[in-house]
């Protein structure tokens, strides 16, 4: 086994999370900001704490070393979705530049946390480049898929490519559709979640044909999320280890499809912390190193 940051499927050994207590802060804070941040509806603070406790317990039971991002007045509720502000590589973290203006301070807060915990920083995406971690997914140790979206632009992808070239990483750009527009949460990982070697959960109706065919040529089996489970985050699945999947409750068809492929599926209730804010288990975590 080897220790790598270039994986979406290896056993998670180290990760950062932002506890909902430190992100949502209070019922008053939620009331003030949820509409302007485009949440589907107002999260209930008490229920959010309960849901997150359960979510965190799953991560602890998996044996990962957990680092916590601190509460910080310069960031907001969306900071709970900590994957988006950075990208992990074998040479250190890449600090993103957020495409959502309301999240612009999150990358620097994460950078401070990485440095405090002795985790090196490889580089930073600078304006006018934008890049969000939800738009990137490792297909293997030397191939990174990057969504070209309203959150991640051409300049951001160009800077990322330059940072990764010395590491021997090929960056595959995946142009994504307009879908619901610039205010919606729509990342590459909204429609793609690798969960095991050559196995990925996908939502094909929003996937570019060229990229879907690319995955098939590479030998991927595709677990197709039904239309009625896309909005309930059936496609947002976190691999805790190869074939061990963490997903939001309420997607029984996708769960069965995964189990039919030999996967173990762990569920958590995520109405408040995931569905309302558009951030599933991949969004709620920033894995650093995995075993493959």
CA distance 175 to 198: 22
Query: For position 212, what pLDDT does the model report?
Result: 98
Indicate the SS3 state at residue 146.
strand
Averaged pLDDT of the chain: 97
| Nearest-10 Cα torsion for 166, 8, 220, 199 | 170
Q: Residues 169-205: pLDDT tens digits?
A: 999 999 999 999 998 889 999 999 999 999 999 999 9
Distance set, CA 24 to CA 34, 79, 150, 209 (Å): 10, 9, 25, 38
> Rounded mean pLDDT of 38-58?
97
Q: Give the chain's domains with CATH numbers.
A: 3-291 (3.75.10.10)
> Rounded mean pLDDT of 40-69?
96
Backbone angles phi, psi at 39, to 5 degrees: -70, 150
Query: For position 255, what pLDDT does the model report?
Result: 98
- pLDDT score of 78 more than 90: yes
- Assess whether the previous peptide bond of 167 is cis (omega < 30° from 0): no
Q: Residues 223-266: pLDDT tens digits?
A: 999 999 999 999 999 999 999 999 999 999 999 999 999 999 99
Specify whether the backbone of 3 is left (phi greater than 0), alpha (psi in -120 to 50) or beta.
Answer: beta
Percent of residues in the chain assigned helix, strand, coil, to nearest 5: 35, 25, 40
pLDDT bracket for residue 1 (50, 70, 90):
low
Looking at residue 70, the DSSP 8-state letter turns out to be P
User: 218 near 199, Cβ under 8 Å?
Assistant: no
CA distance 203 to 36: 28
> Rounded mean pLDDT of 145-155?
98
């Amino acid at each position: 086994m080897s220790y790598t940051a270039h994986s979406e499927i290896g056993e998670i050994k180290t990760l950062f999370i932002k506890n909902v207590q430190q992100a949502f802060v209070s019922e008053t804070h939620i009331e003030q900001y949820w509409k302007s941040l485009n949440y589907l509806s107002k999260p209930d603070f008490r229920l959010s704490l309960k849901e997150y406790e359960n979510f965190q317990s799953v991560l602890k039971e998996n044996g990962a070393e957990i680092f916590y991002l601190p509460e910080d007045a310069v960031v907001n509720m969306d900071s709970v979705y900590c994957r988006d502000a950075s990208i992990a590589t074998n040479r250190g973290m890449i600090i993103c530049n957020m495409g959502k203006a309301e999240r612009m301070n999150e990358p620097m807060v994460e950078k401070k946390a990485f440095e405090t915990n002795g985790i090196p920083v490889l580089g930073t995406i600078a304006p006018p480049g934008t890049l969000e971690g939800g738009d990137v997914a490792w297909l293997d140790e030397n191939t990174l898929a990057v969504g070209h979206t309203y959150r991640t632009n051409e300049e951001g992808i160009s800077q990322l490519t330059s940072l990764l070239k010395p590491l021997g990483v090929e960056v595959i750009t995946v142009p994504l559709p307009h879908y619901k527009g610039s205010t919606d949460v729509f990342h590459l990982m909204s429609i793609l979640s690798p969960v095991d070697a050559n196995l990925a959960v996908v939502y094909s109706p929003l996937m570019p044909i060229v990229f879907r065919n690319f995955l098939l040529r590479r030998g991927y089996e595709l677990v197709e999320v039904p239309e009625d489970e896309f909005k309930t985050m059936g496609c947002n699945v976190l691999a805790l280890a190869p074939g061990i999947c963490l997903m939001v409750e309420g997607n029984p068809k996708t769960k069965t499809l995964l189990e039919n492929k030999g996967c173990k599926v762990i569920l958590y209730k995520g109405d408040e912390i995931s569905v309302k804010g558009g951030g599933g288990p991949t969004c709620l975590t920033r894995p650093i190193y995995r075993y493959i």
